[in-house]
Amino acid sequence: MKIKKTILTAAILMAAVSLPAQNKSAGINISIWKDICTQPHDSTQTTYVNIGLLSTMNRLNGVGINALGSVVHGDMNGLQITGLANLAGGTMRGVQLAGISNISGDNTVGLSAAGLVNITGDKSQGVVISGLTSIGGDNNSGVMISGFMNVTGNMASGLHFSGIANITGQSFGGLMASGLLNIAGEHMNGLQIAGIANITASKLNGVQVALCNYATKVRGLQIGLVNYYTEDMKGFQLGLVNANPDTKVQMMVYGGNATPANIGVRFKNQLFYTILGVGSMYQGLNDKF
């Protein structure tokens, strides 16, 4: 009996000593594939150092470098670098760098840079850079830079730059600048700059600068070739055509000592009007009028 008790006690002590060592070693994950790794893919341990081709982890607090992809089921706190795609099921705090795509299921806090697409499931705070598209599912506070388009599902604030378009589903506060189009689904507080058009579905508090500008209610300034609001204006429109529902559109045919025949359209408001027209000129351009 004494021998059995001694053996049992020794076994318990060995297990107690070996368990912390196992937990400590579980912090290093060298992975070739999901099932070929030093840390089981279904482990509940926290990974501190990860190097491999394709890795799957429960939680990363540290550095992960993979040639193909990296999947973290929970939170990622630190640095995640991969040749193709990074995925964090929870919150990403730190830096994500990928050749193709970065995906965060919950929040992104820090820097996320990808060759094609960045997707944040909930909130994004920091800098998001992508070669093609950046998508923020709910709120965004910070800087989004994309070669093609930035999309925020709910509210956004900060700076959005894109080659083609910036789209916010509800409200935006800050600066939106794109090569073609900016759209604020409801409210815009700040500055919209676009190569073609700025659209604010409800209320603009700030400035729109583009070839065409549209807002329902304006508290500020519209600068462009064509400016239009549908309900109320407390500010100023500076453009070739400034219009609203009360603008009178009048067709015109006229002539003069310089041009014998002209047709045009006059956009007449309460204080100002503009005319867009075409006409024929007299022969002899060297003659003084």
Q: Walk along the chain (289 residues) in steps of 10 and give the mean pLDDT of each run.
A: 49 40 64 86 87 94 96 96 96 96 93 95 90 89 94 90 94 95 94 97 96 96 95 92 86 79 83 79 61
CA 233 – CA 226 distance, rounded (Å):
15
CA 79 – CA 40 distance, rounded (Å):
21
How buried is 49 (Cβ within 10 angstroms: 0-12 exposed, 13-18 middle, 19+ buried)? middle
Report the pLDDT value the prediction gives residue 13, as an integer from 0 to 100: 40
Report the pLDDT value the prediction gives residue 267, as an integer from 0 to 100: 84
Report the pLDDT value the prediction gives residue 20, as an integer from 0 to 100: 40
Strand order in the sheet with 273-280: 248-254, 261-268, 273-280
Closest CA to 265 of 257, 273, 214, 211: 273
Secondary structure class of 3 (helix, strand, coil): helix
Amino acid letter for position 215: A
Report the pLDDT value the prediction gives residue 10, as an integer from 0 to 100: 46
Its pTM stands at 0.78
Q: How far is CA 288 from CA 261, 282, 284, 285, in A?
A: 19, 11, 9, 8
Secondary structure class of 196 (helix, strand, coil): coil
Report the pLDDT value the prediction gives residue 158, as an integer from 0 to 100: 92
Report the pLDDT value the prediction gives residue 251, as an integer from 0 to 100: 87
Report the pLDDT value the prediction gives residue 250, as an integer from 0 to 100: 83
